[in-house]
Amino acid sequence: MIFTADPVEKTPPGAGHSSFDLIEAPKFFAGLKLGRGITFLDLGCGEGHYTLAVADAIGKDGLIYALDLWQPGIKALEEQAAAAGRRNIKAILTDISKPFPLADQSVDVALMATVLHDLLEFGLGDAALKETARVLKPGGTLAIVEFKKIEGPPGPPLRVRLAPEEVEMVVTPHGFRKTRRTEVGPFNYLILFAKEA
């Protein structure tokens, strides 16, 4: 079922592209260290490549909210989740630069996988990070995957790519503390933040 917060028909930048096929998944999951039965939030989930992989990692007792304003992506995710019998995925059609349809402090881990650079390019980063901080539990994790600041392809133009230090400068004012950074393949890195209590 699609839970629609706002009727949205926009196509976000990067729609239809996923960095999941570019990363080394074992390194990603080793860096993230997900627990079983947690509540996970995938922001800008697209067709849900990360969502579906995380669903296996957190188990059937875990819950995943997958948010995107790209309706074809949400529909594709729902179809794949249904076909795989995954009932712990809630796909939500919404704009992640607006208030999330989630309760305060209801999420253990939030993921922005190659999404932050797009939000920042359009001046929407602060709004999305503020909402992420609101829904994360104290001590919860914000995981950000970004493209290395090198010439592509693959990935976005160099001018919009973010070095880890730039990500940290944008994220920490919202009540986060950097905990770890790790390489997750030749093109991408993972940087983790803890929400301050």
Q: Is 183 a domain residue? A: yes
Q: Is 83 a domain residue? A: yes
Work out how many domains the chain is built from and give that number: 1
Q: What is the pLDDT of residues 109-152, one digit of tens each?
A: 999 999 999 999 999 999 999 999 999 999 999 999 999 999 98
Whole-angstrom distance, CA of residue 7 vs CA of residue 182: 37
Q: What CATH number is attached to the domain comprising 55?
A: 3.40.50.150
* pLDDT value for 15: 53
Q: Between the CA of residue 85 and those of 30, 44, 55, 95, 127, what are the distances in Å?
A: 25, 22, 11, 27, 34
The stretch 60-72 carries a mean pLDDT of 96
pLDDT of residue 14 exceeding 60, the answer is no
pTM for this prediction = 0.92
pLDDT of residue 4 exceeding 70, the answer is no
Q: Is 155 a domain residue? A: no
Q: How confident is the model at residue 18 (pLDDT cuts 50, 70, 90)?
A: confident
State which residues form the domain around 126.
12-145+163-189
Best CA proximity match to 147, nearest among 23, 29, 42, 43: 23
Q: Is 99 a domain residue? A: yes
Q: Is 196 a domain residue? A: no
Q: Is 156 a domain residue? A: no
Q: What is the pLDDT of residues 69-112, one digit of tens each?
A: 999 999 999 999 999 999 999 999 999 999 999 999 999 999 99
Q: Is 38 a domain residue? A: yes
Percent of the chain at pLDDT > 90 equals 90
